């Protein structure tokens, strides 16, 4: 419940930020930081925010209605949007990535020194990417492809898949919706797939029933909550 409240606060907080645009900002136009440039931050309301390759952004990237794109090799602080996605190239260093209504797509070999979170949109972490803290979603899927999450991975209604020897060093949590509302939908049980060679160092904690598939070559620290390890379906091959 606390996580869902925080998502609502993100919408209010971003709207408030628009009242004090930084030096590189716009209300109804897109903003771009060129390749190799250095900037203090970039903000828009009804436009996208784009960072070129090998750029350095010491402040935040934020928009309300638009996508945030970060090019290969860039270093940025937090990136936050409300109605739009966040897309990272490769070898990017950043902190928190947050969106409400949009997908987060993180390319290869990125280092996220914070959290990755969404409400209504998928999260994809590609090969070699590391997230230092947590990855969370509410109604969208989470897909790890040879990625490492040092904290927890959690969702409410979205599917979760660990592929290509991905690792969760904390727990994998599927939360139960505390009350009906805008952010809740439990029309079907989520599908959780722990693929070949993947590992959950902590436990898989299930507050609601799911479809749980664990590869014969995967490792998990246990299953607890409304299901047990005996409820998991083991499989061979790449996917069940």
Sheet holding 233-235, edge to edge: 31-33, 49-51, 68-70, 86-88, 104-106, 123-125, 142-145, 160-163, 191-194, 211-215, 233-235
| pLDDT of res. 71 | 98
CA distance 125 to 116: 10
CA distance 174 to 186: 12
| pLDDT of res. 24 | 65
Please, how many CA atoms are within 13 Å of residue 146, restricted to the half-sphere of its CB?
8
**pLDDT tens figures, 109-148:** 999 999 999 999 999 999 999 999 999 999 999 999 999 9
Cβ atoms of 24 and 31 within 8 Å: the answer is yes
| pLDDT of res. 75 | 97
CA distance 158 to 140: 5
Cβ atoms of 109 and 89 within 8 Å: the answer is no
Give the residue from 100, 21, 34 showing the smallest Cα distance to 61: 21
Cβ atoms of 64 and 88 within 8 Å: the answer is no
| pLDDT of res. 187 | 65
Low-confidence ranges of the chain (pLDDT < 50): 1-2, 4-5, 9, 11-12, 14-23, 181-185
CA distance 122 to 139: 8
- Is the whole-model pTM more than 0.85? yes
């Amino acid at each position: 419940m606390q996580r869902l409240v925080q998502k609502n606060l993100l919408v209010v907080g971003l709207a408030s930020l628009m009242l004090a645009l930084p030096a590189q900002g716009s209300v109804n136009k897109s903003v771009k930081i060129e390749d190799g440039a250095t900037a203090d931050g970039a903000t828009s309301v009804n436009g996208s925010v784009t960072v070129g390759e090998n750029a350095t952004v010491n402040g935040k990237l934020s928009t309300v209605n638009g996508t945030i794109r970060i090019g290969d090799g860039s270093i940025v602080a937090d990136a936050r949007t409300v109605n739009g996605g966040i897309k990272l190239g490769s070898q990017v260093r950043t902190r928190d990535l947050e969106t409400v209504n949009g997908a987060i797509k993180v390319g290869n070999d990125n280092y996220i020194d914070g959290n990755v979170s969404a409400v209504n949109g998928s999260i994809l972490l590609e090969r070699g990417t590391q997230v230092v803290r947590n990855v969370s979603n509410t109604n969208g899927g989470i897909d790890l492809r040879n990625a490492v999450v040092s904290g927890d991975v959690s969702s409410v209604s979205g599917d979760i898949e660990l592929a290509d020897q991905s690792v969760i060093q904390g727990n994998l949590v599927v939360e139960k919706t505390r009350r009906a509302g805008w952010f809740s939908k439990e029309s079907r049980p989520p599908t959780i797939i722990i693929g070949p060679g993947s590992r959950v160092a902590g436990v898989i904690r299930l507050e609601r029933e799911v479809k749980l598939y664990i590869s014969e070559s995967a490792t998990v620290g246990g299953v607890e909550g409304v299901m047990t390890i005996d409820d998991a379906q083991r499989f061979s091959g790449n996917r069940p």
